[in-house]
Structure 1
Amino acid sequence: MTQLDSTAEAADVTPAAPAVKLGRRRDHSRDPEILDAAIDVLAETGFDGMTIDMVAARAKAGKATIYRRWPSKADLVLDAVACMKAGELDPERLPDTGTLRGDLVAMIRPRSIEEGERKLRIMGGLFGMISSSPELADAAHAALIEPRAAVNRLFLQRAIDRGEVSPDCDVETIAKLTPAMAAFRLLIEKRPVDAEFLLSLIDGVILPAAGIGHGAPPATQAGQARSR
């Protein structure tokens, strides 16, 4: 037997490498149903009265399935609220009317009385969670305030780019005015955020803060005044 044959024979008997065992992939296909169930239970019972068992029963899912995905009730609630807000603020559905006021007003979508009351209960449940677990305040802010603030930043930047608003305006503060005041109205005053409230906020607070309306000079005139 030649050395080449011996080498080939040795290669033929070399044991195959053991197959790599992959961990079981988590099935997230039920997540939307579970999150919807969590929102429903939160609206009905509040945070303190809510249990994972209730959510599991509503979603027809195993309790262990929920805990594998969300280690605590608070994690589940925060994720559910964040997904609810993301659905309301779908980037592909954002208006582009050509004016800051037009964009802001176009975001006011009609809601039934029942929907308004349900959202009030949901936010009340979230407030209850923050009251019992203050360390979750930052996470709640990210779920409740930040999504709408991000949309307002986009609208304000558009207005700046087209010269409607001065680039010196405080974009960050103005962007947070609407969601912060809406949250205060829902959580503290226990009143719905309706179209009348939002219009008064847009015309009485947001636009004046951006330098639009109430006799404020346009962005171009403001810039000329500063350069003199």
Structure 2
Amino acid sequence: MTTQRKTSPNAARRSDASRRAILTAAFDLVQEVGYAKLSIEGIAARAGVGKQTIYRWWPSKGTVLFDAFLMLSEGPAGDAGLPDTGDLEADLKVVLRATVAELNDPRYDEPMRALATEIAHDPELAAAYAERLDGPMKELKKRRLRDAQQAGQLAEDLDLDVAVEMVWGPLFNRWLQRSGPLTPEYADSVVETALNGLRPRP
């Protein structure tokens, strides 16, 4: 008779503590040294673990950084969806102003740009990003627009996927390309301009 070995609670806690230390180290280091100089060795040294511990869970520094973002977004806050006061324009302005504040936060700028570059060159990471982060967030955005559509605030034949890109796309493009100031006023203008084209026609 064989006895199955089970992970002890202490071992599970140590494993979770190591994982969080690694992800925190990756996020902190990429801000300090930039993505080009970020290395698995550097992450391991900062986290106080061996390189093999990192490679056991992640195949590359890009996947470590991605999971660091997921760790930061853990929690029930995103599950509630977008605000719905009945005033679609006001709700979208609140959300886009919050997005502007996040994109302008110096703590996130370098890590997010590094992740965007890595996603552009790594199909597997891009697929993981679409499945685990971008896809679920897009569904929350579509749900809010769908509710507005059902309330008669948006055109019945509106393509919600295209609508999401019209509302949120300009912010990310301006941020990524550094093509102009990213301000709350710009966010408001994007919402107003987009809704002018998305509302039902008389």
The TM-score with structure 2 as length reference comes to 0.75
Higher helix proportion: 2
Measured in 1, the distance between the counterparts of 2:189 and 2:76 equals 21
Contact 1:145 1:179 survives alignment (8 Å): no
**In terms of Rg, which structure is larger?**
1
Higher mean alpha-carbon deviation, 170-179 vs 109-118, is at 109-118
Q: From 157, 166, 178, give the equivalent of 1:177.
A: 166
Q: From 138, 146, 152, give the equivalent of 1:157.
A: 146
Question: Is 1:19 the counterpart of 2:3 in the alignment?
Answer: yes
Label 1:171 to 1:81 Cα distance change in 2 as closer, same or farther (>3 A).
same
1:222: which partner in 2?
none
Partner amino acid, structure 1, of 2:199: G
2:90: which partner in 1?
102
Measured in 1, the distance between the counterparts of 2:81 and 2:89 equals 17
Label 1:86 to 1:197 Cα distance change in 2 as closer, same or farther (>3 A).
farther
- Within a 5 Å distance, the mapping from 1:187-206 to structure 2 comes to 187-189=176-178, 193-205=182-194
Label 1:120 to 1:19 Cα distance change in 2 as closer, same or farther (>3 A).
closer
Identity of aligned residues (%): 28
Partner amino acid, structure 1, of 2:57: R
Contact 2:100 2:184 survives alignment (8 Å): no
Measured in 1, the distance between the counterparts of 2:79 and 2:42 equals 32
Partner amino acid, structure 1, of 2:65: V
The TM-score with structure 1 as length reference comes to 0.68
- Within a 5 Å distance, the mapping from 1:111-150 to structure 2 comes to 116-130=105-119, 133-135=121-123, 136-142=125-131, 145-150=134-139
- Within a 5 Å distance, the mapping from 1:53-92 to structure 2 comes to 53-84=41-72, 90-92=78-80
Over the aligned positions, Cα root-mean-square deviation in angstroms equals 3.4
Unaligned runs of 5+ in 1: 1-16, 218-228
- Within a 5 Å distance, the mapping from 1:216-227 to structure 2 comes to 216-217=201-202
Contact 1:44 1:121 survives alignment (8 Å): no
Unaligned runs of 5+ in 2: none
1:168: which partner in 2?
157
